[in-house]
């Protein structure tokens, strides 16, 4: 537990290829920028609190979610989709903080995807035991645009598979400040998160936040 207390706060940045079209940018976000992102998360969640959404099959997701930007991803009995309004408040999703947008654009550019301008950011909170099963991000309208996924807080085991659910996924440890970017031939790769282990992080306490940026509309 104590070994994860300052994980991700003093590492050298590096680039790790995953597959064609997918890169892991290790320690891409420094501690100061991580703090700014967490401040942005607090503002977003003040306007649109996180909630455990329900899948079309009626299962409660273990990850708590909210959104910011022009569109937000939601799931319920009617299916998976993007919409401009928060179904809980009936109001538009909160605007995407400038720090979010700047990071997403910079990370995409570093991975070879120039001019990425996301219009949706899914804000996930993982507590110990929470997981994300293997899935594809396929509700977006423009598959030429990449996915940018930012890790903050407790470390997690990221699963990155192939274009079929049956493909054996690669397992990677993600620490606070790591960013995964995938697009092109890897755009529809199955991916997920193993159940989060217990721990304590200097910036987030006993949880992990994930920001997933997409061009949805």
3 state SS of 42: helix
Give the side-chain half-sphere CA count within 13 A for 45. 16
Looking at residue 1, what is its pLDDT?
Answer: 42
Question: CB neighbours of 182 closer than 8 A, spacing ≥ 6?
Answer: 18, 21, 22, 23, 146, 147, 160, 189, 191
Q: Structural domains in the chain?
A: 2-214 (2.60.120.590)
Q: How many CB atoms lie within 10 A of CB 80?
A: 15
Shortest CA distance to 198 belongs to which of 126, 134, 149, 132? 126
What helix, strand, coil percent values describe the chain, rounded to 5?
A: 15, 35, 50
Sequential pLDDT tens for the chain (217 residues): 434 444 444 689 999 999 999 999 999 999 999 999 999 999 999 999 999 999 999 999 999 999 999 999 999 999 999 999 999 999 999 999 999 999 999 999 999 999 999 999 999 999 999 999 999 999 999 999 999 999 999 999 999 999 999 999 999 999 999 999 999 999 999 999 999 999 999 999 999 999 999 999 9
CB 141 within 8 A of CB 187: no
CB 196 within 8 A of CB 156: yes
Shortest CA distance to 156 belongs to which of 135, 171, 167? 171
Looking at residue 11, what is its pLDDT?
Answer: 86
Token pair, residue 60, equals 């409660």
Shortest CA distance to 118 belongs to which of 1, 213, 27? 213
CB 148 within 8 A of CB 210: no
Token pair, residue 169, equals 């996924």
């Amino acid at each position: 537990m104590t070994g994860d207390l300052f994980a991700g706060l003093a590492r050298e940045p590096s680039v790790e290829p995953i597959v064609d079209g997918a890169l892991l940018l290790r320690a891409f976000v420094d501690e100061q920028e991580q703090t700014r992102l967490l401040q942005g998360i607090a503002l977003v969640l003040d306007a649109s609190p996180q909630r455990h959404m329900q899948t079309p099959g009626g299962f409660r997701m273990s990850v708590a979610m909210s959104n910011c930007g022009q569109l937000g991803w939601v799931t319920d009995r009617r299916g998976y989709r993007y919409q401009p309004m928060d179904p809980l408040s009936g109001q538009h999703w909160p605007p995407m903080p400038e720090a979010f947008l700047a990071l997403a654009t910079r990370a995409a550019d570093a991975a070879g995807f120039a001019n990425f301008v996301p219009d949706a950011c899914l804000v996930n909170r993982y507590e110990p035991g929470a997981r994300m099963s293997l899935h594809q991000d396929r509700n977006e309208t423009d598959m030429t645009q990449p996915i940018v996924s930012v890790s903050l807080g407790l470390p997690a085991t990221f699963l990155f598979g192939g274009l079929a659910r049956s493909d054996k996924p690669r397992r990677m440890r993600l620490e606070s400040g790591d960013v995964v970017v995938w697009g092109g031939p890897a755009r529809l790769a199955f991916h997920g998160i193993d159940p989060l282990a217990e721990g304590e992080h200097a910036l987030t306490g006993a949880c992990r936040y994930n920001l997933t940026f997409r061009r949805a509309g």
